[in-house]
Amino acid sequence: MRAALAIAGVELLRFVKDKGNIFFTFIFPLILVFVLGSQFGGSGNSGRVTISGPDSELRTAVTEQLEDDEVSVQFADHDAMLEQVARGRTDVGLVIDQDSVAAFDNGSATELELIAGNASTSMAAQQRVQVAVGNLDLRQVQVNALEGAGVSADDAAQALEGAAGQASAPTLEVTSVDQLSQEFQGLGQFDLGASSQLLLFTFLTSLAGSSTLINARRQGVMGRTLASPVSTLQAIAGQSLGRWVIAFFQGGYIMLATWLLFGVDWGNIALSLLVLAVFAIVAAGAAMVLGSVLDNEGAAVGAGVGLGLVLAAIGGGMMPLEIFPETMRTIAHVTPHAWGYDAFAEIQRSNGNLIDILPMLGVLVAMAVGVLLLGTWLLRRSLARSL
């Protein structure tokens, strides 16, 4: 055991000495958590509308109506607005020109130009603009109707004021039974991104680290280690332990940093760390496999990054598993990521306890044993092969 620990210690030292690792291990995951959180997380978006035209009462009125409806409104000049619509940076453009402003101020009829974006998502925003604009002069419509019935405009306005104060407006109460939105209810802005990035990066870093194993074989360090009174098993245990420590350390760091910086709720810390620990064993074992199969450091980094990204994409490290089509969701569970994702979901979202995550842990442990055995066998074989 002492020999294995010594080897693991050296591996950790080599990792820390490589400055490039600092960015990818410690800074990059946090940037991604932040970007994902700020672009996707948080409150639902009811569409984006860009209004062009001078500041005016009409513009203010429309803006208020839209913002009441939780639509985000921004202003731009005409060309910029058109560009935003064309590029999909806003859902709907609305032109409130000088003529309309004047018409609105003196109560005459006017037309506003609505420019809808090409994406189908703009439809909801279009509808909201229609409603908002339609509501602008409701009071005028009411007054007109009363005047038609022979009431003076002033009387009509006064009576409407009183009636509006007494009547309660009909309301629309929306609930959702959509599994997706229920699933994500109560998740903080950065929570989902943090757990997927945790899985993506611990695995990817570990795989890319397989190059150090190749390097150790190439430099003859492995051979020298085995020439000393250290069994193959000890050497392999040391290498795996080194990779595991790095993966676990990085994962733990991501958990701590996202909690401190973004207030990510990791649920029951002990359980989350347990999931991470088991997941890191799988990652370490996979690195052993990769490091034994390939003989070239460059190719190992390439294959490690590629495989790390692809497995993460399939396993819910990039998009939530919940939005996957049914079959893909099943396929996703060939990756350890999907099981880790499920376990974190259970802990973070439903306050799951050890019993709840036992199935996921079980599968991860089985995977860990599998890749470690495979890695051991392959590494033994690779040591017999010259580089």
Partner 1 sequence: MRQLLTLLTTDLVQRLRDKSVIIFAVIVPLALMGAMNLVMGDTMDMDLETATVAVSAPEDDQLAAQLIGAIQALPEGGLEVEVTETSAADVQALAESGDAKLGLVIPDGFSAALMAGEPVEVEAVEGDGSGIESTVVLSVVQGFLDRAGASAVAAAAGAELGLPPAELGGLAQQVATGESAISMTTGEASNEQLDPKGALIAGQAGLFLMFTVSFGVLGLLAEREFGTLARLRSMPMNPHLITLSKVLSSFVLGVVATSILLTAGGLLFGVSFGSPLAIAALIVCAVIATTSLTFIVIKLAKTSEQATVIQTILAMVLGISGGAFFPMSGTGLFGTLLDLNPVGAMIRGLGITSGGGGLADIGAPVLILLGFAAVALVIARFVPDRGAMA
| 35-54 positions binding partner 1, by CB under 8 A | 35, 39-40, 46
Q: For partner 1, which residue of 247, 282, 288, 314 counts as binding (CB under 8 A)? A: 314
- E strand or H helix at 93, and its extent? strand 92-95
135 in contact with partner 1 (CB under 8 A): yes
- CA 14, CA 242: separation in Å to the nearest integer? 10
In whole angstroms, how close is the CB of 177 to partner 1 at the nearest point?
A: 5
Contact set for partner 1, span 161-190 (CB under 8 A): 162-164, 166-181
- Structure-token pair, residue 124: 């909801």
343: which residues sit within 8 A by CB, 6+ positions away? Answer: 275, 352, 357, 360, 361, 364
Residue 90 Cβ, how far from partner 1 at the closest point, in Å? Answer: 8
The one-letter amino acid code at 363 reads: V
Q: Which is nearer to partner 1, 45 or 232 (CB)?
A: 45
Contact positions with partner 1 (CB under 8 A) in 66-85? 69, 74, 82-83, 85
Q: Does 119 bind partner 1 (CB under 8 A)?
A: yes
107 sits near partner 1 (criterion: CB under 8 A): yes
Residue from 118, 219, 330, 350 in contact with partner 1 (CB under 8 A) = 118
Q: Give the whole-angstrom CA distance, residue 68 versus residue 287.
A: 53
- The answer to whether the Cα torsion of 290, 291, 295, 300 is positive or negative is positive
Site for partner 1 in 253-312 (CB under 8 A): 296, 298-299, 301-303, 305-306, 309-310
Instruction: Report, in Å, the least distance between residue 316 CB and partner 1.
Output: 8
What the block records as the tokens of 153 is 């405009």
Q: Considering only the stretches 197-205, 269-277, 285-293, 314-322, report the one whose residues sit in contact with partner 1 under the rule CB under 8 A.
A: 314-322
Are 381 and 215 a contacting pair, CB within 8 Å?
Answer: no
Please, which residue, 267 or 316, has the CB nearer to partner 1? 316
Contact (Cβ atoms closer than 8 angstroms) between residue 222 and residue 25: no
Can you tell me the distance from the alpha carbon of 44 to that of 123, in angstroms, rounded to the nearest whole number? 16
Q: Does 93 bind partner 1 (CB under 8 A)?
A: yes
Nearest distance, CB of residue 11 and partner 1, angstroms: 17
Q: Write the CA distances from 237 to 67, 278, 285, 372, integer angstroms.
A: 60, 16, 10, 9
Task: Report the residue number, 142 or 232, with the smaller CB distance to partner 1.
Answer: 142
Ordered strands of the 72-75 beta sheet: 72-75, 48-52, 92-95
Q: To the nearest whole angstrom, how small is the minimum distance from the Cβ of residue 40 to partner 1?
A: 7
CB of 214 to partner 1, least distance (A): 13
The 3-42 contact track toward partner 1, x by CB under 8 A, reads: ---------------xxx--xx---x--xx--x---xx--
Distances (CA, A) of 108 to 99, 111, 137, 140: 10, 10, 11, 11
Residue 328 lies near partner 1 (rule: CB under 8 A): yes
Site for partner 1 in 137-166 (CB under 8 A): 137-142, 144-146, 148-151, 155-156, 159-160, 162-164, 166
Nearer to partner 1, 135 or 232 (CB): 135
Q: Would you count residue 113 as binding partner 1 (CB under 8 A)?
A: yes
Burial 358-385 (b: 16+ CB within 10 A, else e): eebbebbeebbeebbebbbebbeebbee
Q: How far apart are CA 263 and CA 376, in angstroms?
A: 40
Site size with partner 1, rule: CB under 8 A: 109
